[in-house]
């Protein structure tokens, strides 16, 4: 008797693939193509002069440097927060778990204003830090703090389900075989969590690269010092320099895509190694 083909609840491959390609074209590919086409109206010397101007290079350094530092900090502390929320019952845990999602729901402009109010020279925290020589608002430190704020939930929410699936018996078995806490973490816990942690790091890094609202208030937007690339693009648009804005946007897009592709390659290689 001829075996019956399993019936899928969702329509067939051809229909779903068509909708997928249509959606991606309308939402992602066509807008990005328009950016490339607009920047192509510049000659190569004009394009190169625009994207390598000293002010633009300074914005690249701040954007990518602060985003990388923020993602690394979030990878460490996001893992710790996820571990505490999963492994330790304590009063107010559900409230703390909800607070982690605040950067998702909070408008980024509100986050920037709040951080500026707290860490300015006369703010709640800034008034105590400034006598120590630590100035947060209107410095690269403020940019880093804003990017850390908006990127934390990506790491916590990516790592948390993986920690929930870890079995306590495996850790107890490692301890019974003579492994100390550090050996148990390095050889049992970290290999299981590392792919999710790298994914959370990638998401936080990608989110920070394109952040604007929470940074624009606390950065101070001083050229060559605290001006991020997104703000520079907005500035050129306000000056009706559409070719220059799209040239910087294309450069940011290519560099970001290359970095994310490299991180995804590392993730897949790590997953195959420890599979």
- Residue whose entry in the numeric block shows the structure tokens 């997953």: 271
Distances in Å between the Cα of 226 and the Cα atoms of 128, 170, 223 are 22, 48, 6
144 close to 110: Cβ distance less than 8 angstroms:
no
| Contacts of residue 123, Cβ cutoff 8 Å, sequence gap at least 6 | 116, 117, 137
Q: So what's the pLDDT on residue 75?
A: 94
Q: So what's the pLDDT on residue 247?
A: 92
CA distance 55 to 254: 19
- pTM for this one? 0.86
Q: Each residue's pLDDT tens digit in the chain (275 positions)?
A: 455 556 666 666 778 888 888 988 888 888 888 888 888 888 999 999 999 999 999 999 999 999 999 999 999 999 999 999 998 888 988 999 999 988 888 888 888 888 888 998 888 888 888 888 888 888 999 999 999 999 999 999 999 999 988 887 887 888 887 878 888 888 888 888 988 898 899 889 989 988 888 898 888 888 888 899 998 999 898 888 999 999 999 999 898 888 888 887 877 777 676 55
- Rg, C-alpha atoms of the chain: 23
Q: Where are the domains of the chain?
A: 50-87+100-273
Please report the sign of the dihedral spanned by the C-alpha atoms of residue 110, residue 116, residue 119, residue 122. Answer: negative
Q: So what's the pLDDT on residue 4?
A: 56
CATH for the 50-87+100-273 domain, from 3.90.78.10, 1.10.15.40, 3.30.390.10, 1.10.3720.10:
1.10.3720.10
The pLDDT tens digits for 54-103 are 999 999 999 999 999 999 999 999 999 999 999 888 898 899 999 998 88
CA distance 203 to 260: 9
């Amino acid at each position: 008797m001829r075996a019956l083909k399993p019936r899928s609840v969702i329509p067939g491959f051809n229909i779903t693939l068509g909708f997928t390609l249509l959606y991606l074209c309308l939402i992602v590919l066509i807008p990005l193509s328009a950016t490339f086409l607009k920047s192509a109206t510049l000659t190569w010397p004009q394009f190169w002069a625009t994207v390598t101007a000293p002010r633009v290079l300074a914005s690249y350094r701040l954007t990518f440097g602060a985003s990388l530092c923020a993602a690394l900090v979030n990878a460490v502390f996001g893992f710790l927060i996820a571990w505490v929320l999963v492994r330790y019952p304590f009063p107010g845990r559900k409230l703390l778990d909800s607070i982690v999602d605040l950067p998702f729901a909070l408008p980024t402009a509100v986050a920037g204003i709040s951080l500026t109010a707290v860490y300015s020279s006369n703010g709640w925290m800034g008034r105590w830090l400034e006598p120590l020589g630590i100035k947060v608002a209107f410095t690269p430190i403020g940019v880093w703090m804003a990017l850390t704020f908006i990127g934390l939930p990506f790491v916590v929410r990516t790592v948390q389900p993986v920690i929930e699936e870890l079995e306590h018996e495996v850790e107890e078995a490692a301890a019974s075989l003579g492994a100390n806490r550090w050996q148990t973490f390095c050889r049992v816990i970290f290999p299981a969590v590392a792919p999710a942690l790298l994914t959370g790091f990638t998401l936080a890094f990608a989110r920070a690269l394109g952040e604007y609202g929470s940074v624009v208030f606390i950065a101070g937007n001083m050229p060559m010092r605290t001006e991020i690339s997104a703000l520079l693009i907005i500035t050129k648009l306000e000056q009706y320099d559409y070719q220059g804005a799209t040239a910087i946007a294309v450069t940011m897009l290519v560099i970001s895509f290359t970095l994310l592709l490299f991180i995804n390659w590392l993730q897949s290689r790590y997953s195959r190694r420890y599979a």
